[in-house]
Amino acid sequence: MQDILEQLEARRDSARLGGGQRRIDVQHSKGKLTARERIEVLLDEGSFEEFDMFVAHRCVDFGMEKQKYPGDGVVTGWGTINGRMVYLYSQDFTVLGGSLSETHAAKICKIMDMAIKNGAPVIGMNDSGGARIQEGVAALGGYADVFQKNIMASGVVPQISVIMGPCAGGAVYSPAITDFIFMVKDSSYMFVTGPDVVKTVTNEIVTAEELGGARTHTSKSSVADGAFENDMEALFEVRRLVDMLPLNNREKPPVRPYFDSHSRVEHSLDTLIPDNTNAPYDMHELVRKLADEGDFFEIQKDFAKNILTGFIRLEGSTVGIVANQPMVLAGCLDIDSSRKAARFVRFCDAFEIPILTLVDVPGFLPGTTQEYGGVIKHGAKLLFAYGEATVPKVTVITGKAYGGAYDVMASKHLRGDFNYAWPTAEIAVMGARGATEIIHRSDLGDADKIAAHTKDYEDRFANPFVAAERGFIDEVIMPRNTRVRVARAFASLRNKQLSNPWKKHDNIPL
C-alpha cells in the first residue's frame, strides 16, 4: 500500500513540474507566472480541486510518443473566489508551448460542461502557441469543440478570458466569444495572423506588440476590456470582477456588506454642471459619488472614451453603469461608443444586472467617416440592446439629451422604469441655435432676430419640464440627492417581472 501511495505522490510531483524546472525558470525570467502559480493567485487558498492531472496526448506522429507530459499542457479544475465557485483552466506554456491538442481541448470542454451544468463562471488563462501542428486536423477539431462550448455557455454563465502570453490563429476565437477579455501589458498578444505572415501578404512591417499587444486591443480594436501591468495585477482584478457578477443566469448578482450611508447627500453635485453648458465636466466624478465607497470597476476604459461602462455597487448590490462622457467628443455617440455600450447592456441583461444610465449627449457624431462606417446600424445596436433589456433600468439625464440620442439612451420609450432629470437637463430635438436656424430660416440675415429666437427656444426647451409634463420624465430631482433617489428606485424594482414575446432568438443589427 505504501508503495502505491508513494507512486501516486511521485506522479503528482511530475505533473506539477509541467515541462520541467528549466522551462519554469524561463517562464519566470520573462516576468510570467506558471500555470499553477496563476491558479494559486486567482483562487482562495487551498480551494483548488484539479481534474485530469494525468491525462496525456495520444499522438504518435513526428516522434510525439517520446514527448508526453501529464496534464498535456493545461491545468483544469474548480475552486472558489471569496467563497464562490468558479471553474477554470490555465494553459501551461512550459509544456510544448502550451499548444492545444485533442486531449488538451477535451480537458477544457469537460470543465465547461461542468460549469454550465452546475451554474458557475468559467475563467480561462490563455498562454499558448496555438494548435499542436503534429496533430493536424485533430487539434483543429479540438479548437472547434471549445468554441462550441463557449457558444453554449454564452448567457448561461459568465466567461472571462485572461490573455497571459501568446494567443494566435484559431486560438483567439475562444476568448472572442467570452464576455470579458483581459490582457497583460508587454507579455501577451492576440492576432489571427502573425507579423511574418502580414509582411509576406501585405508587405507591412509590424511587431507582435503593435499588431496584437495589450495597448492595441484596449485602445484601437476593442477586442480586450482591460490591460494590466503584470500577471499578479491581472488576476487580482479578475477576482474583483468575479465578486460583482452572479454565478449564472438564474441567480441575482451578489449583495455585499457596504460601509457607505444609504442616505448620503452629495452637495458637490449641485455644481457639477458648468454654467456654460458647452463646457465639459468629468462624468467619472458623478459615477464615483453615486457608488458605494466610490468603487467603480470600469470596462474598456481606454476605448471609445466618450462613453463609460462598468460596474458599481449601490447599497451592496451590483449595478451596471452606462454614461456619456462630456470630456470626450462632447459626449456624442458614435460607432465605437455605440458598439461598446450595446455589448455591455446585453451582458447586464443576460445576467440580471440592473442598469443605470447617466445621460449628457448632444447627439450622434456627424461626418462622412461615421456615415460610411455604418453609424446607423451601429447606433441601432445600442437602441436594440436597451429596448430588449428586461432588467431594472434607471436613467438620469444630467445635461443635454438631443435628438435620436435621447431616445437611444434608455429613454422612457424604451421601457425605462425610472427616468429622472436634473434641473440642468435639456431635452429637445436639437440645440437651440440649430433649431432656430431651421425654424426661422427667413430671419437668418438678421442677427438680432436670430438671437431673440434662440433665446426663446432655450427658454421653451432647454429644460426638463416639457418632457416631464408629458410623463417622459418621472421626476426632476436635485443633483445632491441622486444617490438616494437612484438607490431607492432600484430597491423598488427588485421584484420586477417583464418578458419579451417568445422567439427562437432576436436578430440584432450586427
As a three-state string, the secondary structure of 329-389 is HHHCECHHHHHHHHHHHHHHHHCCCCEEEEEEECCECCCHHHHHCCHHHHHHHHHHHHHHC
pLDDT of residue 443 exceeding 70: no
Task: Kindly state the DSSP code that residue 89 receives in the 8-state scheme.
Answer: E
Which range, of 136-140, 282-286, 291-295, 357-361, averages the lowest pLDDT? 136-140
pLDDT of residue 444 exceeding 90: no
State the average pLDDT over residues 464-480.
92
User: What's the rounded Cα separation, in Å, for the pair 215 and 368?
Assistant: 27
- The order of strands in the sheet holding 226-228 is 49-51, 74-81, 84-91, 122-126, 159-163, 180-184, 226-228
User: What's the rounded Cα separation, in Å, for the pair 423 and 473?
Assistant: 12
pLDDT of residue 442 exceeding 80: no
Q: What is the pLDDT of residue 60?
A: 60
State the average pLDDT over residues 431-440.
72
DSSP string of 302-334, one letter each residue: TSSTTEEEEEEEETTEEEEEEEE-TTTGGG-B-
Q: What is the pLDDT of residue 96?
A: 82
State the average pLDDT over residues 11-22.
74
Residue 431: count other Cβ atoms within 10 Å of its Cβ: 21
* Grid cell locating 383: 437602441
Q: What is the pLDDT of residue 80?
A: 98
CA-atom Rg of the chain in angstroms:
26
Q: Is 320 a catalytic residue?
A: no
H-type alpha helices, 119-194: 137-153, 173-177
**pTM for this entry:** 0.94
When the pLDDT of each residue in the chain is averaged and rounded to a whole number, the result is 91
User: What's the rounded Cα separation, in Å, for the pair 340 and 349?
Assistant: 15
Q: Looking at 194, 316, 373, 404, which residue is catalytic?
A: 404
Q: What is the pLDDT of residue 178?
A: 98
Of the two residues 262 and 77, the one the predictor is more confident about is: 77
Q: Is 403 a catalytic residue?
A: no
pLDDT of residue 250 exceeding 90: yes
pLDDT of residue 441 exceeding 90: no
Contacts of 412 (CB under 8 A, 6+ apart): 395, 419, 471, 472, 473, 474
Backbone angles phi, psi at 395, to 5 degrees: -125, 140
Q: What is the pLDDT of residue 65?
A: 66
* Grid cell locating 177: 466569444
User: What's the rounded Cα separation, in Å, for the pair 492 and 393?
Assistant: 11
Which pLDDT tens digit goes with each residue over 181-233? Answer: 999 999 999 999 889 889 899 999 999 999 999 999 999 999 999 999 999 99
- CB contact burial 158-189 (16+ within 10 A = b; e otherwise): bbbbbbbbbbbbbbbebbebbbbbbbbbebbb
pLDDT of residue 461 exceeding 90: no
Which pLDDT tens digit goes with each residue over 341-380? Answer: 999 999 999 999 999 999 999 999 999 999 999 999 999 9
Q: Looking at 105, 131, 401, 405, which residue is catalytic?
A: 405
* Grid cell locating 318: 451590483
Q: Is 295 exposed, middle or buried (0-12, 13-18, 19+ CB in 10 A)?
A: middle
Of the two residues 4 and 481, the one the predictor is more confident about is: 481
User: What's the rounded Cα separation, in Å, for the pair 234 and 42?
Assistant: 9
Q: Looking at 119, 141, 155, 170, which residue is catalytic?
A: 170
pLDDT of residue 474 exceeding 90: yes
* Grid cell locating 155: 448567457
Q: Is 213 a catalytic residue?
A: no
Q: What is the pLDDT of residue 20?
A: 76
User: What's the rounded Cα separation, in Å, for the pair 103 and 242?
Assistant: 28
User: What's the rounded Cα separation, in Å, for the pair 428 and 399?
Assistant: 11
Q: What is the pLDDT of residue 61?
A: 65
pLDDT of residue 383 exceeding 70: yes
State the average pLDDT over residues 316-320.
97
Of the two residues 428 and 293, the one the predictor is more confident about is: 293
Which pLDDT tens digit goes with each residue over 63-122? Answer: 666 677 777 889 999 999 999 999 999 999 988 888 888 899 999 999 999 999 999 999
Q: What is the pLDDT of residue 181?
A: 98
Strand partners for 209: none
State the average pLDDT over residues 165-182.
93
Termini Cα distance of the chain? 61
Q: Looking at 18, 169, 403, 431, which residue is catalytic?
A: 169
Q: What is the pLDDT of residue 450?
A: 72
User: What's the rounded Cα separation, in Å, for the pair 353 and 371?
Assistant: 33
Q: Is 169 a catalytic residue?
A: yes
Q: What is the pLDDT of residue 453?
A: 67
